Structure 1
């Protein structure tokens, strides 16, 4: 009896240790957040097991989350929702039913998921787009770009760019009753990366006459050169998005070759001949003091040239929008950037906000000190969080005032 009891106690202790995920003290609804974080951790470990057994690719296993969260296009009394294609790319289209005194606003939205996961039909993205369309009386185009590991960079960028360029044509805007002077691109996480890249690329495209009114970047990933920023160090094992998972997302965006993942994990993937690019991601120059928190900047440790030659995408501004010059930045539109304190990507957004301001771009940097990566996607039961609703409302309020 004593041995069985001891085994039970030990097993219970191990289970409790595994399930317990500490969360920062200032995060609301800590037990709910802890449960969500544990659920994500369990799914991540199961995905690793299926990958190790050769049953399913790690990212494909995680895609089961997307499948479970999928909701079909369903219209209601306020918004007509349809799945269709624009420029041969799948999109979910949200058209408001309320009458409009004039031309409508439009938001072209790119979902997150590390370029590997996600869908416009996920309950959280469907709900956010539906709210946006209804509250702003706006047309919302939510893009279902192709995903890794089946497709690597630049396919994801090319899909969202194709949709944006197509939609910005005057005859298409007219077809949907959209004001050409009130269109923005928006996205969260990897989608924020794509939105920033699209906004930059449009400036160089002489075929596009319509200019964006704004860009909205929600906890965006903006560079893959330095994966050891203060936010990466402080939040390496933080809620929802860890450093190791971020490295997996970044590397899988470019290739399934584990050599790049290993190099990124040790932050030794950039070759010496690309050293000039570090001036654009030098956090000691661009982060506000409150985010430096005593961290000491050290120069990069360079890797071999072979990986950069085989997979040059991680040095491409279309994948890393922070790498463009100040001259290109100063032509960008009005910008909203949301960052969260407990997020490995926090410093990407903070650096971009600082660089844009220095270049003369009007920027609203909304820093949520009590939030974590992905918080805005938790707006649907049973995984809804108060912080998710709060951030979503701030995003919608900014759009309503500025678009």
Structure 2
């Protein structure tokens, strides 16, 4: 009996050691976050092992997160759900049920899911619930885009899917079919979805033949640049739950290529070249980050490596520099006529500084920007609204986000 007790105690201690992370005191529900993150870390370790043994690639194993969260979007008493195809792109369309008159024009939100361009789906339960909440509380039509994923479909495929689907939806005849007011349309997304939303907003306003313009863009802890992966937030939060620096760098590298040379170069922030020198000014965080975000960190521009280490820059670096992949690299003149913006950032997130710098640049370009920063927030928090990973901050974030859309769309 004593032997069994000792073994049980040993397993408890090992489990506690594995689960425990030194999480900042400002974060609420710390133990729940530790337990939640331990699942993600365990899956990541399994994915590493699987790839090492040649069984299945890393992202193939991590896709379990997407599969486990998937639901079948169905119509209920308040929300009518259909699955459509817009110019070859799968969409889940959420519309108000019997609310309002038959010809009442409504707001529309085009939503792009996160997942580092490699994971995620519009059919995951948190996105399904968020879409229903927007439909009911905003009397809006929500278009949730099911774009193809890397690494099977690397950049620019996910962007092109989204852009093609959005352009199709913005046609007058399509908007009329869904009773959408052409003057009240927003594009929105979280994390990699925020990246795609920002890129689509930029691209649309550059099209001379685009007759319907977006009224708003709402970017939730967006990832916006791949040139400097050593900003203060990348350094401060490199081991934070949900999205550690290593995972974000892996997402970036897999978005462009499965060549591990790029991943290794990005991990040391040595993936730049002379070609990017003129773009580094747009990610100079000593210029675009308020002092409160810079903290004790001192800026130094990323340097190009002496040798490329076998990395084929001709294939990959043009993509890294492309504003469709890194919207923060867009020239000032490309920002001036963008729609009003809501940018959500979290203190304990490697992507915090991307969002802060973009908010700064948009404001300086004359765009109406609402920057909502959560001093106790962590990456992905808004999606944790489903038991057992149900966080109080997620509900506050959701309410603030929907409230902004109600007032600005």
Of 365, 371, 374, the match for 1:365: 371
Q: Counterparts in 2 of 1:194-343, with a 5 A limit?
A: 194-303=196-305, 304=307, 306-311=311-316, 312-343=318-349
CA contact (8 A) 2:117 2:158 kept: yes
Deviation string, structure 1 residues 114-154 (Cα, Å, up to 9, x no partner): 00000011000000011011110100000010001111000
Which residue number in structure 2 is paired with residue 42 of structure 1? 42
Question: Alignment partner of 1:256: what SS?
Answer: coil
- What is the correspondence of 1:165-180 to structure 2 with a 5 Å cutoff? 165-180=167-182
Q: Is this contact kept in 1: 2:87–2:165, CA < 8 A?
A: yes
- Spell out, residue by residue over 1:159-178, the C-alpha distance to the aligned partner (whole angstroms, 9 max, x if none): 00011100011111111100
Shift of 1:13: 4.1
Alpha carbons of structure 1 residues 272 and 4: separation in structure 2 relative to 1, 3 Å: farther
Judge conservation of contact 2:284–2:301 (CA < 8 Å) in 1.
Answer: no
Rounded Cα–Cα distance in structure 2 between residues aligned with 1:64 and 1:231? 28
Q: How much has 1:374 moved relative to structure 2?
A: 0.1
For residues 245 and 113 of structure 2, the distance between their equivalents in structure 1, rounded to whole angstroms, comes to 20
Structure 1 residue 5: deviation in Å? 8.7
Deviation at 1:2, TM superposition (A): 11
Deviations 1:36-62 (A, max 9, x none): 111111111111111112221111111
The answer for the alignment partner of 1:66 in structure 2 is 66
| Alignment correspondent of 1:184 | 186
2:66 alignment partner, SS class: helix
SS of match in other structure, 1:301:
coil
| SS of alignment partner, residue 193 of structure 1 | helix
Residue 315 of structure 1, CA deviation: 1.0
How far apart, in 1, do the equivalents of 2:3 and 2:273 lie?
57
- SS of 1:391 mapped into structure 2: helix
Q: 1:352 aligns with which of 346, 355, 358?
A: 358
Instruction: Report the counterpart of residue 390 of structure 2 in structure 1.
Output: 384
Question: Could you tell me how far apart the structure 1 residues matched to 2:98 and 2:139 are?
Answer: 7
Q: CA deviation at 1:3?
A: 10
Q: Deviations over 1:295-332 (max 9, x none)?
A: 11012211356533121211110000000111111110
Could you state the TM-score of these two structures normalised by the residue count of structure 2? 0.95
Distance 1:248 1:174, change over 3 A: same
Do residues 132 (structure 1) and 137 (structure 2) align? no
CA shift at 1:27, angstroms?
A: 1.2
CA displacement 1:262-313 (0-9 Å, x = unmatched): 0000000010232111000000000011101121101221135653312121
Q: Deviations over 1:60-102 (max 9, x none)?
A: 1111111111110111111011222111111111011143353
Deviation at 1:15, TM superposition (A): 3.6
CA distance in 1, matches of 2:296, 2:172: 51
Give the SS at the match of 2:386.
Answer: coil
SS at match of 1:364: strand
SS state at 1:284 partner: helix
Residue in 2 that maps onto 1:95? 95
Out of 53-62 and 136-145, give the one that drifted further. 53-62
Give me the whole-angstrom Cα distance separating, in 2, the residues matched to 1:2 and 1:174.
73
**Does the C-alpha gap of structure 1 residues 179 and 5 become closer, same or farther in structure 2, counting only changes over 3 Å?**
closer
The answer as to whether partners of 2:190 and 2:219 remain within 8 angstroms in 1 is yes
SS of the counterpart of 1:332? Answer: coil
Rounded to whole Å, the distance in 2 between the matches of 1:81 and 1:159 is: 21
Residues in 2 aligned to 1:385 and 1:11: alpha-carbon distance in whole angstroms: 28
5+ residue gaps, structure 1, are none
Change in 2 beyond 3 A, CA 1:73/1:7: closer
Q: C-alpha displacement at 1:244, in angstroms?
A: 0.2
Q: How many pairs are equivalent?
A: 403
**Separation of aligned partners in 2, 1:121 and 1:299:** 40
Distance in 2 separating the partners of 1:6 and 1:161: 59
RMSD over equivalenced CA pairs, Å: 1.7
What's 2:77 paired with? 77
Report if the CA contact (8 A) 1:105-1:182 is conserved: yes
Specify the alignment match of 1:30 in structure 2: 30
User: Structure 1's 104 and 271: CA in aligned 2 closer, same or farther, altered over 3 A?
Assistant: same
Q: Is contact 1:270-1:308 (8 Å) kept? A: no
